[in-house]
Amino acid sequence: MNNNLINIVGPTAIGKTSLSIRIAQHFNTEIISADSRQFFKEMKIGTAVPEKEELASVKHHFIQHISVKDNYSVGDFERDAILKLSELYNSHNTVVMVGGSGLYTKAVTEGLDNFPKVDPEIRKNLNEHLENDGIDWLQQKLFALDPEYYKTADVQNPHRLIRALEICISTGKPFSSFLDQEKPQRNFETISIGLTADRELIYDRINRRVDLMIENGLLEEAKELYPNRHLNALNTVGYKELFQYFDGEINLETAISEIKKNTRRFAKRQLTWFRKDESIKWFEYDEDPKVILEFIESKINT
């Protein structure tokens, strides 16, 4: 097997984009983005989409390719990304994938468990409970329906809670009973690279990035999206806090502070997820790219 997938992961604001471009240029290849927040064409500033110059320097796929109004699941991404990789491997032996969405990178590298289709009304009802009763209601419901999955689930992530609950409710079976099925074989070898730093440094980078987003027009971007605030894609950090500000629930200073706090929590969850994967080779965020490239070359040649 000569096909390689260089999988670059790590917490938000750690420097994955610049490293992925450097590696893609070295191998004269293209980049698959596995950042689920950057899929949406209307969400540019709040998701830190790469700059035009960065996108022009290396061909990227799955950045701003759908609308917030589209239903696009991790299963859809797995299908589309595998098709794109099959196409790219016709002309490249090595492809780069980059993103902080752990479930999405795992979908590509390992495959997903198969779940039955769910009535959209169930998801709609659960989202209404989230809005009216808060995340506590979802947590208690999951504990009641699937205590086994509750032990290991990211119970602070409403998307994960709703996904598990909709399966429980639609099938009458625990979500955990659908996990750990036999996964599909991939026609590539994965080399996973993780970027990390001291927690305080990561938090400082996040705080500075949020300030830069506000300077670059995040408020205006969120205003344009406000009429669609009910959409699942917009129930995400950076937008939901500003929607609260528009509703008069909090002031702007508090909204910005909440964005920073919730992004820091998100980064902590990302690290927790990725640290469980023993196949990832970790490097400090400021490591010389040449060192990382030497490691990748050694893995490709062995």
Asked if 86 and 221 sit in the same domain, the reply is yes
Identify the band that residue 180 occupies on the pLDDT scale cut at 50, 70 and 90: confident
Q: Would you call 290 helix, strand, or coil by DSSP?
A: helix
Question: Per-residue pLDDT tens for 106-122?
Answer: 999 999 877 888 898 99
Mean pLDDT computed over 160-184: 89
11 is in an annotated binding site: yes
Identify the band that residue 239 occupies on the pLDDT scale cut at 50, 70 and 90: very high
Asked if 186 and 174 sit in the same domain, the reply is no
50 is in an annotated binding site: no
Question: Per-residue pLDDT tens for 35-75?
Answer: 999 999 999 999 999 999 999 999 999 999 999 999 898 98
Mean pLDDT computed over 10-22: 97
13 is in an annotated binding site: yes
Residues 6+ apart with CB under 8 A from 202: 11, 13, 14, 196, 264, 267
Asked if 162 and 271 sit in the same domain, the reply is no
Asked if 195 and 247 sit in the same domain, the reply is yes
Place of tokens 């590509």: 108
| Prediction pTM value | 0.83
10 is in an annotated binding site: yes
| Backbone angles phi and psi of 8, in degrees to 5 | -105, 120
CATH number at residue 140: 1.10.20.140
**How confident is the model at residue 281, as a pLDDT?**
98
Residue 168's nearest CA partner among 211, 227, 112, 126 is 126
CATH number at residue 63: 3.40.50.300
Q: Which domain holds residue 137?
A: 120-178
DSSP one-letter string for 211-275: HHHHHTTHHHHHHHHGGGTTSGGGSSTTTHHHHHHHTTSS-HHHHHHHHHHHHHHHHHHHHHHHH
**How confident is the model at residue 116, as a pLDDT?**
83
User: What average pLDDT is seen over the chain?
Assistant: 94
Asked if 200 and 72 sit in the same domain, the reply is yes
